[in-house]
Amino acid sequence: MNDLDAVLARIDANADAALDRLFAVLRIKSISTDPAYAAECKTCADWHAADLASIGFTAEARTTPGHPIVVAHDRSATGPSALFYGHYDVQPVDPLALWEHDPFEPRIETRADGSKVIRGRGASDDKGQVMTFIEACRAWKDVTGSLPIPVTVLLEGEEESGGVNLPPFLKDNAAELKADIGLICDTNMWDAATPAIQTMLRGLCGEEIIITAADRDLHSGFYGSAAANPNHVLARIIADLRDANGRVTLPGFYDGVPELPEALKQQWDSLNFDAGAFLGAIGLSVPAGEKGRSVLEMTWSRPTCEVNGMGGGYQGAGFKTVIPSVASAKISFRLVFDQDPHKVRAAFRDFVRARIPADCKVEFIEHGSGSAIRFPIEDAAFTKSRDALTAEWGKPAVFIGGGGSIPVTAELKKALGMDVMLTGFALEDDRIHSPNEKYNLHSFRKGMRSWARILHALAQ
Amino acid sequence: MNDLDAVLARIDANADAALDRLFAVLRIKSISTDPAYAAECKTCADWHAADLASIGFTAEARTTPGHPIVVAHDRSATGPSALFYGHYDVQPVDPLALWEHDPFEPRIETRADGSKVIRGRGASDDKGQVMTFIEACRAWKDVTGSLPIPVTVLLEGEEESGGVNLPPFLKDNAAELKADIGLICDTNMWDAATPAIQTMLRGLCGEEIIITAADRDLHSGFYGSAAANPNHVLARIIADLRDANGRVTLPGFYDGVPELPEALKQQWDSLNFDAGAFLGAIGLSVPAGEKGRSVLEMTWSRPTCEVNGMGGGYQGAGFKTVIPSVASAKISFRLVFDQDPHKVRAAFRDFVRARIPADCKVEFIEHGSGSAIRFPIEDAAFTKSRDALTAEWGKPAVFIGGGGSIPVTAELKKALGMDVMLTGFALEDDRIHSPNEKYNLHSFRKGMRSWARILHALAQ
- Summarised one tens digit per residue, pLDDT across range A47-69 is 999 999 999 999 999 999 999 99
Alpha-carbon distance of A436 to A119, in angstroms, equals 6
Which parts of A192-340 fold into alpha helices (H)? 220-223, 230-241, 262-270, 275-280, 295-296
Quick one: average pLDDT of B357-366?
A: 97
Residue B295 inside a domain? The answer is: no
Distance of CA B455 to the CA centre of its chain: 23
Give CA–CA dist B211/B225, Å, rounded.
Answer: 17
Chain B residues lying within 8 Å of A245, measured CB to CB? none
Q: Are strands A398-400 and A196-198 parallel, antiparallel or unpaired?
A: parallel
Tell me, what's the pLDDT at B319?
A: 84
Q: State the average pLDDT over residues B80-101.
A: 93
**What average pLDDT does the segment A214-235 reach?**
93
Q: Does residue B216 sit in the same domain as residue B249?
A: yes
Distance CA A393, CA A371 (A): 33
Name the closest residue on chain B to residue A239, using Cα atoms: B236
Q: Which among A226, A288, A319 is the nearest to B206, CB-wise?
A: A319
pLDDT value of position B296: 93
Backbone angles phi, psi at A117, to 5 degrees: -130, 150
Residues B209 and B116 in one domain: no
Provide the domain count of chain A: 2
Is the Cβ of B317 closer than 8 Å to some Cβ of chain A?
no
Instruction: Using CB atoms, pick whichever of B204, B228, B283 lies closest to residue A284.
Output: B228
| Confidence band of A142 (pLDDT split at 50, 70, 90) | very high
Is-contact A443 A199, C-beta < 8 A? no
Q: How many CB atoms lie within 10 A of CB B205?
A: 27
Gap between the Cα atoms of A183 and A360, Å rounded: 50
With a pLDDT cut of 70, the percent of chain B lying above it is 100
Q: Kindly tell me if the per-residue pLDDT of B110 is higher than 90.
A: yes
In chain A, what residues touch B358 (CB-CB under 8 Å)? 285-286
| Percentage of residues of chain A with pLDDT beyond 90 | 84
Signed CA dihedral, B389, B393, B398, B404: sign only: negative
**Does residue A87 sit within a domain?**
yes
Does residue A410 sit in the same domain as residue A393?
Answer: yes
Cα–Cα distance measured from residue A77 to residue B124, given in angstroms and rounded to the nearest whole number: 89
B405: distance to nearest CA of chain A, Å? 7
Asked whether residue B285 is domain-assigned, the answer is no
The per-residue pLDDT for B447 is: 98
Q: Do B359 and A279 touch (CB under 8 A)?
A: yes
Give CA–CA dist B219/B223, Å, rounded. 6
Residues in chain B with CB shorter than 8 Å from the CB of A327 are 310
> Pick from A354, A370, A386: which residue ends a domain?
A370
Give the C-alpha distances (Å, rounded to integers) separating B420 from A249, B128, B170, B260, B269: 53, 20, 15, 21, 24
Which of B243, B306, B323 is most worth mutating to test chain A (most A CB atoms within 10 A of its CB)?
A: B306
- Chain A residues with CB inside 8 Å of B284's CB? 213-214, 227-228, 359-360
Q: A-chain residues within 8 Å CB-CB of B246?
A: 225
Q: Say whether pLDDT at A278 is over 80.
A: yes
- pLDDT value for A394: 97
Which of B161, B187, B211, B310 to mutate against chain A (most A CBs within 10 Å)? B310
CB contact under 8 A, A224 and B299: yes
Lowest model confidence (mean pLDDT) among A335-349, A402-416, B241-255: A402-416
pLDDT, tens digit, for every residue of B45-88?
A: 999 999 999 999 999 999 999 999 999 999 999 999 999 999 99
pLDDT at residue B326, rounded to an integer? 96
Q: How many DSSP H helices and E strands does chain A contain? A: 15, 19
Does residue B163 carry a pLDDT above 90? no
Q: Does B289 touch chain A (CB under 8 A)?
A: yes
Sequence-distant (≥ 6) Cβ neighbours of residue A172 within 8 angstroms = none
Note whether A287 contacts B: Cβ–Cβ < 8 A.
yes
Confidence check: pLDDT of B263 > 90: no
The predicted pLDDT at position B164 comes to: 87
At which of A316, A346, A370 does a domain end? A370
> What is the model's pLDDT at position B114?
95
Query: Going along A227-372, which residue ranges are E strands?
Result: 304-313, 322-323, 326-335, 361-370
- The better pLDDT of the pair B265, A441 is held by A441
pLDDT one-digit tens code per residue, A143-202: 999 999 999 999 999 998 878 899 999 999 999 999 999 999 999 999 999 999 999 999
Domain extent, residue B310, equals 203-257+303-370
Determine the angle formed by the axes of helices B3-13 and B15-26, rounding to 10 degrees: 60
List chain A residues with CB under 8 Å of B322: 308-309
Mode of pairing for the β-strands spanning B373-374 and A58-62 = unpaired
Chain B positions touching A367 (Cβ under 8 A) are: 318-319
What residue type is B391 in one-letter code? A
Which one-letter amino acid corresponds to residue B318?
Answer: G
pLDDT band at A211 (very low <50, low <70, confident <90, very high): very high
Is the bond preceding residue B126 a cis peptide, omega within 30 degrees?
Answer: yes
A72 and A14 together in one domain: yes
Residue A152 lies in a domain: yes
> CB–CB of B308 and A216 under 8 A?
no
Q: Mind listing the pLDDT tens digit for each residue in A364-384? A: 999 888 889 989 888 999 999
Note whether A320 and A412 are same-domain residues: no
Shared domain check, A352 and A212: yes
CB-based contact A319:B320 (threshold 8 Å): no
The ipTM (two decimal places) reads 0.84
Whole-number pLDDT of residue B222:
86
Helix (H, G, I), strand (E, B) or coil at B151: strand
Q: What is the pLDDT of residue B219?
A: 86
State residue A32's pLDDT score: 93
Residue A383 buriedness (CB in 10 A; 0-12 / 13-18 / 19+): middle
Q: What is the pLDDT of residues B23-45, one digit of tens each?
A: 999 999 999 989 999 999 999 99
Q: A359 vs B286: CB contact, 8 Å cut-off?
A: yes
Listed residue (A150, A158, A344) closest to A253, CA to CA: A344
Mean pLDDT of A410-429: 93
Last residue of a domain, one of B355, B370, B385: B370
Check residue A263 and give its pLDDT: 84
Q: Give the CATH number of the domain where residue A414 resides.
A: 3.40.630.10
| A39 found inside a domain | yes
Is A245 touching B (CB cutoff 8 A)?
no
pLDDT band, residue B440 (cuts 50/70/90)? very high
Per-position b or e across B107-141, b if 16+ CB within 10 A of its CB: eeeeeeeeeebbbbbbbbbbbbbbbbbbbbbbbbb
Judgement on whether residues A116 and A131 belong to the same structural domain of the protein: yes
Residue A384 sits in the same domain as residue A435: yes
Nearest-CB residue to A308 (from B225, B285, B320): B320
Measure in Å the smallest separation between the Cα of A439 and chain B Cα atoms.
20
Digit-coded pLDDT (tens) for A346-366? 999 999 999 999 999 999 999
Q: How many helices (H) and strands (E) does chain B have?
A: 15, 19
Percentage of chain A surpassing pLDDT 70? 100
Question: Is A355 an interface residue toward B (CB < 8 Å)?
Answer: no
Q: Is the pLDDT of residue B262 over 80?
A: yes
Contact B315 A314 (CB under 8 A): no
Cα–Cα distance for residue pair B87/B288, rounded to 1 Å: 35
Amino acid in the structure at residue A169: F
Whether A334 and chain B come into contact, CB under 8 Å, resolves to yes
Render pLDDT for B400-428 as a digit per residue (tens, 0 to 9).
988 777 878 988 998 999 999 999 999 98
Q: Which residues of B touch A221 (CB under 8 A)?
A: 202, 334, 402-405
- CA separation for the pair B338, B450 (Å, rounded): 32
Same domain for A160 and A237, yes or no, is no
Given this model, what pLDDT does residue B403 score? 77
Banded model confidence at residue B19, pLDDT cuts 50, 70, 90? very high
Please tell me the predicted confidence (pLDDT) of residue B63: 97
Is the pLDDT at A404 greater than 80? The verdict is: no
**Residue A344: CATH number of its domain:** 3.30.70.360
If asked whether residues A377 and A232 sit together in one domain, one would say no
Q: A240 to chain B: which residues are within 8 Å by CB? A: 239
Euclidean distance between CA atoms A78 and A263, whole angstroms = 34
Cβ–Cβ below 8 Å for B306 and A204: no
Q: Is A321 on the interface with B (CB under 8 A)?
A: yes
Q: What is the mean pLDDT of chain B?
A: 95
Task: Tell me which chain B residues have a C-beta less than 8 angstroms from the C-beta of A204.
Answer: 321
Residue B94 has pLDDT above 90, yes or no: no
Please write the tens of the pLDDT for every residue from B268-326. 888 889 999 999 999 999 999 999 999 999 999 999 999 999 999 999 888 888 899 99
Contact residues for B70 (Cβ-Cβ < 8 A; gap 6+): B45, B48, B49, B52, B59, B60, B61, B62, B88, B153, B154, B155, B157
Domain co-membership, A213 together with A313 = yes
Domain-embedded: residue B277: no
Query: Same domain for A88 and A55?
Result: yes
Question: Is a pLDDT exceeding 80 seen at residue B261?
Answer: yes
* Closest alpha carbon to A67 in A150, A165, A200: A165
Smallest Cα distance from A441 to chain B, Å: 25
Q: Does residue A32 belong to any structural domain of this protein?
A: yes
In a domain, A22, yes or no: yes
Please name the residue of chain B whose CA is at the shortest distance from the CA of residue A202. B221
CA-wise closest residue to A452 among A72, A9, A128, A81 = A9
pLDDT of residue A220 exceeding 90, the answer is no
